[in-house]
Structure 1
Amino acid sequence: MSDVRHVLVLPDRDAADEVAVELMARFGVTEQPRPVRDALAGEDDAEDAQWLVPVEDPDRRLDAAELDRFAAEWEGWREDP
C-alpha cells in the first residue's frame, strides 16, 4: 500500500492552526497535522508566507473534493499530489 498525502494551503498561520484542529473533528484524522510555513520564492516578509497543512491518508479514505471545499472555508485550497 502506498501512502497518500494531501496538502492544504492556507493564507496565514491562524487559518492553518484552525484547519489542523478541525481536520481531527470533521474528518476523523487521528494525528493532528503540523502546519508548516512556506515562504514564497524571493519573499522575506512573513506576511507573504503561505501555510501548508500536510494530511497523511494511508488508507485513502479522505475525499479530495471534500478537502477542497473544507480548505476553501479558510480561503485556502488543496494541492493535487
Structure 2
Amino acid sequence: MLVLPDREAAEEVAQTLGERFGLDEEPLLVRDALAGEDDAEDAQWLVVLRDEEERLDPGELDEFAGEWEGWREEP
C-alpha cells in the first residue's frame, strides 16, 4: 500500500505503477480521512496493490512513492 498526500498524486501513481512495474491488475484508490477531520483537503489517498507473488521490491516502491511525496506501508 502506498500513501499519497492528495488525490491527484494517487491517480498519477496508480497510472504510472502499471507502466513502470508491469502490474497485472489496476491498483485500488482509497480516500483515507485523517481522524477528526471533515475537510477533504486533510485526506490522504491510498494506492492499494496486490503482490501475492512478491515480485515488487519494497525499496523500489518506497523510492517510487517518494517521487510524489508519499511512502509505502505494509497493510
Instruction: Give the superposition deviation at 1:80.
Output: 2.8
Unaligned runs of 5+ in 2: none
Q: How does 1:4-43 map to 2 (within 5 A)?
A: 7-43=1-37
Q: Percent identity?
A: 69
Q: How does 1:2-81 map to 2 (within 5 A)?
A: 7-81=1-75
- Following TM superposition, the consecutive aligned residue runs of length 4 or more in structure 1 with deviations greater than 4 angstroms are none
Q: Return the letter of the residue paired with 1:79.
A: E
CA distance in 2, matches of 1:80, 1:66: 14
- Count of residue correspondences: 75
TM-score (norm 2): 0.96
CA distance in 2, matches of 1:32, 1:15: 16
Instruction: Give the superposition deviation at 1:34.
Output: 1.9
Deviations 1:22-50 (A, max 9, x none): 11000001111121000000000000000
What root-mean-square deviation, in Å, do the aligned CA atoms of Structure 1 and Structure 2 show? 0.7
Unaligned runs of 5+ in 1: 1-6
Q: Return the letter of the residue paired with 1:24.
A: G
TM-score (norm 1): 0.89
